[in-house]
Amino acid sequence: MKTEVYLIEGMHCAACSAAVERVTRKLEGVSRSDVNLTTNRMTIEYDEAKVTPEQIIAKVEKAGFGARQMDAGRDERRDLDEREKEQEAAFRRERNGIIAALALAAALLYVSMGSMFGAPLPDIIDMHTHAVNFAVVQLMLSTVIMYIGRRFYVSGFKALRHLNPNMDSLVAIGSAAAFIYSVVTLFRLTDDPSLVHDGLYFESAAVVVTLVSLGKHMESSSKHKTTGAIRKLMALTPDTAILRGEGGSLTEVPTDILRVGDVVLVRPGERVPLDGEVVEGEGGVDESMLTGESLPVDKAPGSEVIGGSIGVNGSLYVRVTRVGADTTLSKIIKIVEDAQGKKAPISKIADKVAGVFVPVVMAIALLAAAIWLLAGEPLSFVLKVFTSVLVIACPCAMGLATPTAIVVGTGLGAQNGILIKSGEALETLHSVDTAVLDKTGTVTEGKPAVTDVLCAGAERAELLSVASAVEAVSAHPLAEAVMRAAGEEGVCNSAPVTEFENLSGRGLSARLGGLRVLVGSRRLMEESGVDVSPLAPEAERLSGEGKTVMFVAREGALLGALAVSDPVRGGSAAAIARLKELGLRVVLLTGDNRRAADYIGSRVGADEVIAEVLPGDKADVVRSIQERGGRVIMVGDGINDAPALTQADVGCAVGGGSDIAIESADVVLMKDDLGDVARAVRLSRLTITNIKENLFWAFCYNTIGIPIAAGVLWPFFEILLSPMLGALAMSLSSVCVVGNALRLRGKKL
């Protein structure tokens, strides 16, 4: 199966996107086709042996729309810039046309309805003395307005011809019917001037087009804001970089020509052009736009830097390690774009309704017109009902309800260093009730550290010096922790190490400067006749906390002991408390021994601790929770977490984890901050609440508006909705849905 993305042109409402989905899903070999009305993109999955891109494009074009394949190898930023320029030019043209239409519509309303309010008109176009002239002026003004809004007629009747009627079809049919009726009346005015009072609807036809155009313009402006996160991310890569050439010469070059291995200079205030490794210099780098981390991160030779981050202080020479689609920024953009292109399950309701909405509305309009005609109402009344029903109906609000909220929600997440890979993951995340957290590297730092130094026959510095000298020869995982602790305190021992021996399961034995040194367990000390009783109670307490205690002795005399463990991350307890506040049950999962796991679990406040789990069994633990009815978010960072991440309802990988874990996860946290798990859950809940609000108002608007337009209130209260008010209400409904989605951008996570 192959997955591709196409840019769809000519879509104006949910009925359009539903039509594109419908025709492409009918192609043999197509397993999935999702169209996002907000981004105008179609994500399609198909069997290359059964269908070709040319057939897909032909099918979309036959339905009345344009389609072009988005080139995966193309420079996304350049492609975005070109589309931005095209959209900006089209936006300006549309705005100028709407300004002209509004001015002409105001003049038309003055001419057609001014006399009702005593507004003066020249006698030559007065409805009482020159009825034909009065009608001709309205004809000319409305014709110009309808020409300005001609895209409704071109698109609407084209969609109707292809049997895929859309919102434009409703506007086109309704306004055209009012216009044609008014033209016929104009020709009858010479025989019956009294028709001028209740037979001209030029203003309805023209003002409907004007108001709908204004609403669509406002909607486009708002939709443009929803994709702001992607544009901001793409703008992070600088256009130029300072390349260091042979001999140390510095040259400003386009970022596009940089290759892996090139060395660039990043000065304070400048952006890092591409992912790389610092080879010279030290300084802080602001990575907040990519990770959400507010504080600058210190960099030194050997440190990795992310393209798009900003140098805060100190100049850095950076060797480029990744370019093009391989950079962190490109991958982030790809994840966000993919998420915005994939539909959440909640959107299926709106999609089903939108697919049949326009034909149903057209049927209701015809039925209402027929009923009122049979009831004996005049043709002018029937026309008003017919037009009002057509123009008040709004499939756009339903079609925009889900994608706009998902686009804004995933964009907000990206700005906070939370990457959600799909709309489905975003929806599922709001309903999780159990958080399963891998201990090592997620709740804890993931690397051993010396947490306690117990002195007996030596001072702290001497104890660390002796222990690190012997451990330097060892390959034991705990050796690095001891050497790192000695290095941090600036102690070292230059005495030669001889007769080194690794005593399996007990510790190390060696001669340091000719003196016998032992580093290891209590058992080793007792076997060697070393008295550990002075430190025994404290050592027992530390062992009870799951720490590994290493005693150090020299020539049979106890020098002290070092306790080593994987320390808890600073924010883990607060992060777990936040998850519990959100109503989640927290399970700590680890392969460590029960005593160490229980101690860590009690420290961070986990509800349940599952210890001594083999790497291959983690997915089984998640499955057992699901079988008991739990909806699980699994959080991990290692390769052995990948099966569990895939098994969980939502898999969440911390950014510092392995590539395999990140690939397997539905949510990626760019920062190594467990608190972002709770933020991701809150983001999901805010987004789903927003979608439900949008869907409620969209359905509610149409459920109430269409019957009123059809005239259900007329027999009781003689209230009849005019086509102009219907057009205004329809336009505002779409704008309100998009505006409600934009409220998410101001939410705190």
Q: Which residues are part of the catalytic machinery?
A: 438
Q: What is the DSSP letter of 31?
A: E
Q: Are 55 and 24 in contact (CB under 8 A)?
A: no
List all residues 6 or more positions away from 348 whose beta carbon is below 8 Å from its beta carbon: none
With H, G, I as helix, E, B as strand and everything else as coil, classify residue 666: coil
Angstrom distance (rounded) from CA 155 to CA 160: 9
Question: H-type helices in 608-722, by residue range?
Answer: 618-627, 642-647, 659-664, 675-710, 714-717
Whose structure tokens read 């988005």? 70
List all residues 6 or more positions away from 96 whose beta carbon is below 8 Å from its beta carbon: none
Angstrom distance (rounded) from CA 597 to CA 603: 10
Whose structure tokens read 């009747």? 157
Q: Are 606 and 588 in contact (CB under 8 A)?
A: yes
Q: What is the DSSP string of 536-599?
A: HHHHHHHHHTTPEEEEEEETTEEEEEEEEE-PBPTTHHHHHHHHHHTT-EEEEE-SS-HHHHHH
List all residues 6 or more positions away from 132 whose beta carbon is below 8 Å from its beta carbon: 186, 189, 190
List all residues 6 or more positions away from 172 whose beta carbon is below 8 Å from its beta carbon: 152, 153, 155, 156, 157, 160
Half-sphere exposure of 466 (CA within 13 A, CB side): 33
List all residues 6 or more positions away from 401 whose beta carbon is below 8 Å from its beta carbon: 347, 350, 691, 694, 695, 698, 737
Torsion angle, alpha carbons of 683, 686, 692, 696, to 10:
-150
Helix H or strand E segment including 33: strand 30-36
Query: 240 — alpha (psi -120 to 50), left (phi > 0) or beta?
Result: beta
List all residues 6 or more positions away from 329 whose beta carbon is below 8 Å from its beta carbon: 233, 236, 237, 275, 290, 306, 307, 308
Tokens at residue 592, please?
A: 């460590």
Angstrom distance (rounded) from CA 175 to CA 313: 63
What amino acid is encoded at 57 in this protein?
Answer: I
Torsion angle, alpha carbons of 411, 413, 416, 421, to 10:
-100
Task: Please give the biggest Cα pair distance in the chain.
Answer: 128
Whose structure tokens read 């994939």? 342
Angstrom distance (rounded) from CA 436 to CA 584: 10
With H, G, I as helix, E, B as strand and everything else as coil, classify residue 704: helix
